[in-house]
Chains A and B, each alone.
Chain A
Amino acid sequence: MTDAAKDAAMSPAAAISDSTGMGYLQTLPRRLVTVYLPLSIFLFVLLFPFYWMGVTTFKPNDELYNFSNNNPFWVRNPTLANIEKLLFQTDYPEWLLNTMVIAITATFLSIFASVLAAYAITRLRFRGAPTVGLLIFLAYLVPPSILFIPLATIVYGVGIYDTNWALILTYPTFLIPFCTWLLMGYFKSIPYELEECALIDGATRIQILLKITLPLAIPGLISAFIFAFTLSWNEFIYALAFISSSEQKTVPVGVLTQLVEGDVYHWGSLMAGALLGSLPVAIFYSFFVEHYVASLTGAVKE
């Protein structure tokens, strides 16, 4: 896809920036110093931890703990021992499965609820709809850090402590506000006239939602889906507080709490765990970069 198409996907007004503006006034040497050099440093610093994660994963222990005889930035004898230990001597496959199940279920649940709520707020316009919209935005501003203690007692009281349900039902507390807010923006951009036509032709509201609004809002749905999926995959504090047995944990919690034995840090397997846990999100992300950027910036600009 061309650059222009990507920018256009981000924001309609972005088309303006494709004209070079006054960029032609800058000479190449000047651009090298003022643009490319700082940009390379930024990229190096932002990406280095991932490189380091990858290099460490494939290092045998003698290279890992001996910098004087080896160049630490490269692997001389790559090994899969760290990954093997992770996959066959820990509960890592279970964590991966749990994370996947929880992320997907919580995402679908949240999108279902958000689509209905966003449609009701923007299209049915019941009395008090703008207030409800504002309240949902405020709900997004309530951080998990102040909710997890009372939620822990509720989760325990309901009897879902230490099960996947504890997370599937609590993740929507931050997914629904975000997705609803995002979808409201998309629904507002769909011309109302289309729905009026359908109404005149005798369609019911539910038919309109299913056959007109949703197909037109597919980019928004994809954005909401990938954002919700990544947010659930990354969630940490609820998973730490509501899950206690090792085989029920999610990847971030499992890697941090189960791979450290006392004071012995198995850096190789820790990094392998971090790398493998990041890959699904990274791959997922690489397919939907434009949607991701659009939803991120769209939600802020709304």
Chain B
Amino acid sequence: MAATATALDPRSGAALEKLGRWLDNRTVLSVLFMFPAASILLVFLTYPLALGVWMGFTDVKIGRPGIFIGLENYISLFNDGVFLLSVFNTIVYTVVATIFKFGLGLWLALLLNHTIPFKAYVRAFVLLPYIIPTVLSAIAFWWIYDAQFSIISWGLSQFGLIDRYIDFLGVPWNARWSVIAANVWRGIPFVAICLLAGLQTISPSLYEAAALDGANSWQRFRHVTVPMLMPILAVVLTFSVLFTFTDFQLIYAITRGGPLNATHLMATLAFQRAIPGGQLGEGAAIATAMIPFLVGATIFSYYGLQRRKWQQGSQDD
């Protein structure tokens, strides 16, 4: 196949042919084909990324160009209690939500991997929370968490478990748990469906062999399922951590960072300071402060991918 490709000498015969032949020049065609995607990504992704980092070092405000002020934004942020609280919230939110998402998601995937009736329909319904616009389902959660008319409070009080309605969104830790629950609810389907795909590639004969060797169900899970699932788990984990860490819409819809900034994440704080607050430079600095965490997650993903290829024994294509 390489021979065919190299046989397309840019000049041979091209002079005689019309446009179609000229386009067969791989270099010309490559440039032409890459142009739409590359130009959009360079203008609206790469450039803003660099601009954002730069803006973090300036005091630009809405309607006023900024000047370079070095690390002043970062210094003031490190003495800013609200920012430090938002970092704390973001880490708590990401770690707790991820643990629950993966615990419950793996469990759901294992359940779905059984032979069950109407499996395709069950799987389709399971994925619903993932495809419905997050903000719209977040509004439903907002209503479910309402202080006066919460259906959860009503249900619990009917069973006599509580005598006063729970103030889900009015107390800092309640609010944190509430938004984490909503995030877990939204994240489980993605994790479960991806892990289910991973589970389905594990050959049943491995389990049978393990069972013949006397492994009980926990040992089969620990020594067959987990290692076989590890590569895909690493990738899904990276995506999940990345998108939970930079989450914005769920918080903005349910609490807008309240009460007392207890649920402000770095993304929501950056938005609040930059757009309604007008402090573009400071907002950009907060957003830039997320980058080191994201780079860490990406490197993790890279090694996850490498490991998968190595495990399958396939050549890198």
Residues of A within 8 A of B (CB): 1, 3, 6-7, 10-11, 13-14, 16-17, 19-23, 31, 35-36, 38-39, 42-43, 45-47, 49-50, 52-53, 56, 64-65, 67, 72, 109, 112-114, 116-117, 119-120, 124-126, 129, 132, 136, 138-139, 141-154, 169-170, 172-173, 176-177, 180, 188, 192-193, 196, 199-200, 204-207, 230, 233-234, 236-237, 240-241, 251-253, 255-256, 267, 270-271, 273-274, 277-278, 281-282, 285-286, 289, 292-293, 296-297, 300-301
Q: Is B257 an interface residue (CB 8 A)?
A: no
| A151–B50 alpha-carbon span in the complex (Å) | 11
The contact sample of 29 A-B pairs, CB cut-off 8 A, is A3-B119, A39-B112, A42-B111, A46-B188, A117-B38, A120-B34, A139-B45, A146-B52, A146-B294, A147-B48, A148-B271, A149-B52, A149-B55, A150-B47, A154-B44, A172-B41, A173-B41, A173-B44, A196-B1, A230-B131, A237-B249, A256-B253, A267-B149, A270-B143, A271-B143, A278-B133, A285-B127, A297-B197, A301-B198
Contact B136 A176 (CB under 8 A): no
Give the chain B neighbours of A146 by CB distance below 8 A. Answer: 49, 52, 246, 267, 270, 287-288, 290-291, 294
Residues of chain B from 8 to 39 with CB closer than 8 A to chain A in the complex: 20-21, 23-24, 26-27, 29-30, 32-38
Contact A13 B200 (CB under 8 A): yes
Known: A35-B114, A120-B34. A42 touches B40 (CB 8 A): no
Interface size class of B (residues with CB under 8 A): 35 or more
| A113–B294 alpha-carbon span in the complex (Å) | 26
Q: How near does chain A come to B235, taking the closest CB pair, in angstroms?
A: 5
Contact A49 B125 (CB under 8 A): no
Contact A169 B44 (CB under 8 A): yes
In the complex, per-residue mask of B137-166: 1 if CB is within 8 Å of any chain A CB, else 0: 101110110101101001000000000000
Give the chain A neighbours of B143 by CB distance below 8 A. Answer: 52, 56, 267, 270-271
In the complex, per-residue mask of B168-190: 1 if CB is within 8 Å of any chain A CB, else 0: 00000000000000000100111
| A300–B236 alpha-carbon span in the complex (Å) | 7
